[in-house]
């Protein structure tokens, strides 16, 4: 792994926190690389900590790092990491996904933080953004050490892969998708090269769905482009979808006993995911917070619309 030591984020460096590279292994033996953010004026004793990951296909130098830095400015020790197979983290082949392993990545980060001398292991929360909002909730349904979970503009990657956007795929279309992907597997083995998915277009025609235009406006411009991000460089492994298409990840969210805050934009195209999942959550420590006049990508980096005050209050309520 070629790990960069210089600042190469898509956001400006804060003068209020110290940042350093860290690494640890998950239970599949994959090395996870992250950025640890720590307030310069850190409180005495063990700290509350927050793990941050997402969006799906992004790297820690983008959205998750921004969230981690801001929450560290607000007094938390935070860790933004690259998921397995992406960015500076290990795993081969590159740029694939796994519902199981990407859920495990969150718990591996909790393992790491729980064993730091400056972290209170009873006060660890997570933030999952976009596709990792779904994996984060899945981790919270498994890992009782996660005391508070924030899911921002959440995507259920297994549901959208299996059923299409807005559950628009019928049974025949789903079968055709599987047929094409499995043909591609045969070809990949023959050539020894994993074919890339189409990804975002190089240019917009104006005819694309609004959510494609939103993603393009973030990942394909200087605002959010990062060369290691799969969404920026279009290097997704095409057959990666097969790891998601038959595996619902959020079946047991009703078992989450610890606190959950689901944040979504009023105009976000993926809002239906969050509203459906929120109905399944139980207990009086669960909340759905809709951000007025915000679309999906606004909650990636629009500092005027990301409800950091709300997120800070949530974590201080349940982690301190």
Which of 31-45, 133-147, 209-223 holds the top average pLDDT?
133-147
Residue 43 has pLDDT above 90, yes or no: no
pLDDT exceeds cutoff 70 at 2: no
Mean pLDDT over the full length of the chain: 95
pLDDT at 3 > cutoff 90? no
With a pLDDT cut of 90, the percent of the chain lying above it is: 90
175: exposed, middle or buried (C-beta count within 10 Å: 0-12, 13-18, 19+)?
Answer: exposed
Map residue 123 onto helix, strand or coil: strand
Question: In which band, very low, low, confident or very high, does the pLDDT at 6 lie, cut at 50, 70 and 90?
Answer: confident
Q: Tell me: the pLDDT tens digits for 279-300?
A: 999 999 999 999 999 999 999 9
| Phi and psi angles of residue 126, each rounded to the nearest 5 degrees, phi first | -135, 155
The per-residue pLDDT for 1 is 59
Distance between CA 34 and CA 228 in Å, rounded? 14
Question: What is the percent of the chain where pLDDT is above 70?
Answer: 99
Q: 81-100 pLDDT, tens per residue?
A: 999 999 999 999 999 999 99
Q: What is the mean pLDDT of residues 25-38?
A: 98
Confidence check: pLDDT of 248 > 70? yes
Decide the pairing of beta strands 286-291 and 146-152. Answer: unpaired
How would residue 199 be classed by pLDDT, with cut points 50, 70 and 90? confident
pLDDT given at position 291: 98
The answer to whether the peptide bond before residue 93 is cis (omega within 30 degrees of 0) is: yes
152: left (phi over 0), alpha (psi -120 to 50) or beta: beta
What are 235-245's pLDDT values in tens digits? Answer: 999 999 998 99
Backbone angles phi, psi at 26, to 5 degrees: -85, 180
């Amino acid at each position: 792994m070629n790990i960069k030591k210089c600042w190469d984020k898509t956001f400006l460096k804060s003068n209020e926190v110290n940042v350093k590279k860290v690494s640890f292994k998950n239970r599949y033996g994959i090395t996870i690389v992250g950025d640890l953010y720590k307030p310069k004026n850190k409180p005495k004793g063990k700290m509350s900590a927050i793990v941050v990951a997402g969006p799906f296909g992004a790297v820690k130098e983008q959205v998750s790092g921004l969230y981690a830095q801001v929450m560290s400015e607000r007094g938390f020790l935070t860790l933004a990491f690259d998921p397995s197979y992406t960015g500076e983290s290990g795993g081969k082949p590159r740029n694939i996904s796994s519902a199981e392993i990407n859920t495990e990545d969150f718990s591996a980060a909790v393992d790491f933080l729980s064993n730091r001398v400056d972290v209170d292991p009873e006060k660890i929360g997570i933030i999952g953004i976009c596709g990792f909002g779904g994996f984060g909730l899945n981790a919270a349904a498994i890992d009782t050490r996660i005391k508070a979970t924030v899911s921002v503009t959440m995507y259920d990657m297994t549901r959208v892969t299996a059923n299409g956007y807005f559950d628009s795929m019928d049974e025949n279309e789903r079968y055709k998708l599987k047929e094409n992907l499995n043909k591609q597997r045969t070809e990949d083995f023959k050539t020894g090269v994993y074919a890339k998915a189409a990804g975002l277009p190089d240019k917009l025609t104006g005819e694309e769905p609004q959510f494609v235009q939103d993603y393009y406006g973030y990942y394909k411009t200087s605002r959010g482009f990062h060369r290691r991000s799969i969404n920026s460089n279009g290097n997704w492994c095409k057959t990666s979808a097969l790891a998601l298409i038959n595996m619902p990840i959020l079946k047991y969210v009703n078992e989450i006993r610890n606190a959950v805050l689901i944040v979504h934009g009023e105009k976000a195209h993926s809002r239906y995911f969050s509203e459906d999942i929120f109905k399944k959550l139980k207990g009086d420590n669960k909340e759905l917070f809709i951000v007025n006049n915000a679309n999906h990508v606004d909650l990636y980096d629009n500092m005027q619309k990301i409800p950091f005050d709300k997120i800070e209050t949530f974590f201080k309520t349940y982690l301190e």
